[in-house]
Amino acid sequence: MEPISARSMISAAATEAVVASGDGAPRVERRKRLSPAALAVANQKVPPAFSPIVIAGSVRLADFLVIAAVGIALYFALVVRRDGFAWEYIAAILGTTATAVVAFQAADLYEVQLFRGTLKQMTRIISTWSIVFLLFIGASFFAKLGGEVSRLWLGSFFFAGLALLIIERLSVRALVRRWASQGRLDRRTVIVGADANGAKLIEALKAEHADASDIRILGVFDDRNDARSQSTCAGVPKLGKVDDIPEFARRTRVDLVLFALPISAETRILDMLKKLWVLPVDIRLSAHTNKLRFRPRAYSYVGKVPTLDVFEAPITDWDQVIKQVFDRVVGGFILLLAAPVMALVALAIKLDSPGPVLFRQKRFGFNNERIDVLKFRSMYHDQADPTASKVVTRNDPRVTRVGRFIRRTSLDELPQLFNVVFKGNLSLVGPRPHAVQGKLQSQLFDEAVDGYFARHRVKPGITGWAQINGWRGEIDNEEKIQKRVEFDLYYIENWSVLFDLYILLRTPWALLKGENAY
């Protein structure tokens, strides 16, 4: 099968439909109807997921801090008072700590599934910690330093460190078990294919012990209505057709879409991927029934089921943590710097025309979530357009004198820093959040550009790659919205913290140019 990339899917059809009312009233969005079975699943309250990679990394850091802290504390309590301070002890403690973390990794002590257990986890910790100390004693002996190391400190370090590690791991066990019971560690999965292949896949996933698997199968989707597609598949209900998956994934948390179709069904798979790649989920092809075998490195595994990766959710795990911290810290700093300017803009708006200073507008957020975005009011209050059903153009009579200036300089966007710092539904950098009724002439944006909703696979931002490259302001032709989507997709595929920082640093210059902003 030929490799599949996001760029090859740009021509995919948009997955949400819109209709126009026959009486000339503004067009309103129509959400796709789901089956009663799908609605029953989608209406369940689901908490946000916790990343197993972040949990494991946090436990590594906790182990390092606990071991280092107890070693240093005992050194100051038992050795420094008697023999004075020596940096060699600190180096030995940090070396032992690093060795312990590496040894724990080698012993698979950072597997999230292991955190749930007690006996196996504690046995490994005791044995690995003992081996680390034997290595330390052996190294001291061969370096002829055995007589210089305090035996009281060494014994206290071993037993106190072991005790604190056990207490820490019992606390982690309690947390992980609670998160598991809440569904925060589940990989909420939908299966594509309600036939015999789908049944075999579901049975293979169910064969694993509940404590050894994080897969929770929500249901199956299949376009076929003949005998090959069953109303239930291996006890799992059929929730609808493949066309229903985007809407289903926007109403409830879906982490993984797993195709049970054989790789030989290339045409069908490609048609389905064109509908699904716009979602911020992992998409994989199951290889459990395929006779064609690739090298082991080509596979990733869902439990013990071999799969082929097609698309991965962007900005996940530690990348997501780093981006959130970057947004809150840098966003908070920018907000403090911008506060005097924002106060002056608010005063100018109040003196220029009657009405509130701030304006709320419905915008598309992450995964098509509707969010309220704050802006400084730039129009006359009685002519406000909260749905952006009519595009603001050059010399628009609805725009106030102050509004014309703050729109051209993008000062009207500054209140969105509150969205970033306090609400967390915007990022500093990302695809700009378009209004839900944003139009190109008589077409909504998702009608005008294929694959438009793929830009919502990440959280939207105050500024973005498209904006600093001149694609901002009024959208009065098809090229402008196509270029925005193209640049937004490039940003998503190439994200990094340095990329965000580069865009932020270039944003003031892009604003000074003031192109296309009315």
Rg (the chain; Cα; Å): 28
Is residue 41 classed as helix, strand or coil in its secondary structure?
Answer: helix
**Which residue bears the tokens 């869902």?**
302
Q: At 105, is the pLDDT very low, low, confident or very high (cuts 50, 70, 90)?
A: very high
What per-residue confidence (pLDDT) applies to 213?
72
Structure tokens at 289: 């029934």
What per-residue confidence (pLDDT) applies to 25?
40
Percent of the chain predicted with pLDDT > 90? 48
With b meaning 16 or more CB within 10 Å and e meaning fewer, what string describes 390-424? ebbeeebeebbebbbbbbbebbbbbbbbbbbbeee
Distance CA(302)–CA(255), nearest Å, equals 12
Q: What are phi and psi of 398, to 5 degrees?
A: -75, -20
Higher-confidence residue: 225 or 28? 225
Please answer whether residues 112 and 176 qualify as being in contact, where contact means their C-beta atoms are separated by less than 8 angstroms: yes
Task: Read off the pLDDT of each residue in 319-344 and give the average, rounded to a whole number.
Answer: 96
Percent of the chain predicted with pLDDT > 70? 85
Over residues 462-514, the pLDDT tens digits come to 999 998 998 876 677 788 888 899 999 999 999 999 999 999 999 988 877 65
Is residue 370 classed as helix, strand or coil in its secondary structure?
Answer: strand
Decide if pLDDT at 381 tops 90. Answer: no
Burial of residue 85 (number of CB atoms within 10 Å: 0-12, 13-18, 19+): exposed
Give the closest residue to 75 by CA, choosing from 96, 46, 57.
96
Show contacts of 28-37: CB within 8 Å, 24+ apart. 28/437, 29/436, 29/437, 29/444, 31/247, 32/243, 32/244, 32/246, 32/247, 34/239, 34/240, 34/244, 34/247, 34/248, 34/251, 35/239, 35/240, 35/244, 37/219, 37/237, 37/238, 37/239, 37/240
Give the CATH number of domain 7-41+186-313; options: 3.40.640.10, 3.40.50.720, 3.40.190.10, 1.10.287.610. 3.40.50.720
What per-residue confidence (pLDDT) applies to 340?
95
Decide if pLDDT at 102 tops 80. Answer: yes
Decide if pLDDT at 228 tops 60. Answer: no
What per-residue confidence (pLDDT) applies to 86?
83
- Is beta strand 187-192 parallel, antiparallel or unpaired with respect to 256-259? parallel
Over residues 151-206, the pLDDT tens digits come to 898 899 999 999 999 999 999 999 999 999 999 999 999 999 888 888 889 998 88
Q: Full-prediction pTM beyond 0.75?
A: yes
User: What's the one-letter identity of residue 350?
Assistant: K
Sign for the CA dihedral angle at 425, 426, 427, 429 comes to positive
Task: Read off the pLDDT of each residue in 81-96 and give the average, rounded to a whole number.
Answer: 87
Higher-confidence residue: 93 or 17? 93
Please answer whether residues 213 and 12 qualify as being in contact, where contact means their C-beta atoms are separated by less than 8 angstroms: no
Q: How far is CA 32 from the centre of its chain?
A: 25
Any idea where the domains of the chain sit in the sequence? 7-41+186-313, 52-182, 318-513
Distance CA(321)–CA(459), nearest Å, equals 13
Starting from the edge strand earliest in sequence, which strands make up the sheet with 236-240, in order? 232-233, 236-240, 215-221, 187-192, 256-259, 282-286, 305-311, 300-302
Q: At 145, is the pLDDT very low, low, confident or very high (cuts 50, 70, 90)?
A: low
Give the closest residue to 222 by CA, choosing from 199, 201, 238.
238
Task: Read off the pLDDT of each residue in 242-264 and give the average, rounded to a whole number.
Answer: 90
Q: Look over the chain and give the mean of its residue pLDDT values, rounded to a whole number.
A: 84
User: What's the one-letter identity of residue 115?
Assistant: F
What per-residue confidence (pLDDT) applies to 144?
60
Give the closest residue to 191 by CA, choosing from 161, 125, 236, 146.
236
Sign for the CA dihedral angle at 186, 187, 191, 196 comes to negative
Structure tokens at 293: 């075998």
- What are the DSSP calls for 272-322, one per residue? HHHHHTTSSSEEEEE-TT-S----GGG-EEETTEEEEEEE--SS-HHHHHH
With b meaning 16 or more CB within 10 Å and e meaning fewer, what string describes 37-47? ebbebbeeebe
Decide if pLDDT at 24 tops 70. Answer: no
**Which residue bears the tokens 């030929």?**
2
Paired residues of 443 in beta bridges:
440
Decide if pLDDT at 6 tops 50. Answer: no
Give the closest residue to 190 by CA, choosing from 217, 215, 214.
217
Decide if pLDDT at 211 tops 50. Answer: yes
Structure tokens at 318: 């530690």
